[in-house]
Structure 1
Amino acid sequence: MEDLSTLFAVAMISLLIGAAIGYFILGRLKPEQQNRAVLEKQFSEMQQQQQEYQQEVSTHFDRTGELLNELAESYRSVHNHIVEGAQNLHASGISPLQALPEGRPVLESKSNKVVPSAPPLDYAPRQPGKKGALHEEFGMDSEKKTKEQIDPPIAPHL
């Protein structure tokens, strides 16, 4: 009986040691799970960075818009001050400068009804009784010279 219990204990210890070794070997052979966890962490970090960047861009353009509005108001104030001074100090009391209206300018909408034009033609229109631009003799002299009437080339004089 003692041999049987010793054999059983050795078998159990061997089984536990084998399971532990198998677990570590399996962990080394399957790095996909480890890589997946690392990639998921990197992906979540990148998403967070992207959201922070978008928030920074949005905040930047909001502030830029506010600053541009302040600049426009400052320009309007300076311009109107110059107009007032020009009207008060000009000899005739009439200044060529005009004050800018307060607030944001309203764009006037002119309802110009534009008649749509015809699309451009991709060919020369043919005149009645004449050959069109796509005809092989278009632009050639009306009288054709025969081979006998063709003048020979003249040599250049040296």
Structure 2
Amino acid sequence: MFELTTLVATGVIAFLVGGAVGYFILERLKPAQQSRAALEKQFSEMQEQQQAYQQQVSGHFDRTAELLNDLAESYRSVHNHIAEGAQTLHSTGISPLQPLPEGRPVLESKATPRTPSEQPLDYAPRQPGSKGALHEEFGLDKDRQRKEEAEPPTPPPPL
């Protein structure tokens, strides 16, 4: 029938082919690679969403700035109209309203340099070694000293 060598060679070849096919199937179905690919896809989608959101926010603030400039220009036009009318119609010809200058942008596009802020001066400064104004015993020592100064010391009782 079959020779032993042919049977062994067929078995080895079948084993190698089966092993190769199994290896490629396992590689395709490997959970780590599937989850990694899914995470990479999700990450790229989130990046695209973030970029779209940033563009939407930027467009919103650009449009808001345009609308505020239009509003300020409208306010300036109304103010100047009232100032001209007040100057023309006022009995002395002098109006307390002065027209606003035309032509310059109301909102500047470049940021103005900020000066460093200072702490507010509406507090009682604390002297070194003393209790501050927000301490629960603040001012109590002064009241105690005033009482002691107002009452003369009592002499010790006789022996």
Highest Rg: 1 or 2? 1
TM-score (norm 2): 0.61
* Rounded Cα–Cα distance in structure 2 between residues aligned with 1:89 and 1:67: 33
| 1:93–1:40 Cα change, 3 Å | same
After superposition, residues 24-103 of structure 1 pair within 5 angstroms as: 24-25=25-26, 28=29, 30-102=30-102, 103=104
| 1:145–1:58 Cα change, 3 Å | farther
Offset of 1:2 from its aligned partner? 4.4
Identity %: 52
Residue 6 (structure 1) aligns with:
7
Aligned length in residues: 124
* Rounded Cα–Cα distance in structure 2 between residues aligned with 1:46 and 1:13: 47
Greater helix share, structure number: 2
- Structure with more contact order per residue of length (Cα contacts < 8 Å, sep ≥ 6): 2
* Rounded Cα–Cα distance in structure 2 between residues aligned with 1:18 and 1:98: 93
Residue 15 (structure 1) aligns with:
16
* Rounded Cα–Cα distance in structure 2 between residues aligned with 1:145 and 1:16: 117
| 1:144–1:23 Cα change, 3 Å | farther
| 1:145–1:72 Cα change, 3 Å | farther
Residue 113 (structure 1) aligns with:
none
TM-score (norm 1): 0.61
Code of the residue aligned with 1:10 in structure 2: it is: G
Q: 8 Å contact 2:69–2:105 — kept in the other structure?
A: no
Runs of 5+ unmatched residues, structure 1? 106-116, 125-132, 149-158
Q: CA RMSD in A?
A: 3.3
* Rounded Cα–Cα distance in structure 2 between residues aligned with 1:70 and 1:37: 50
* Rounded Cα–Cα distance in structure 2 between residues aligned with 1:50 and 1:91: 62
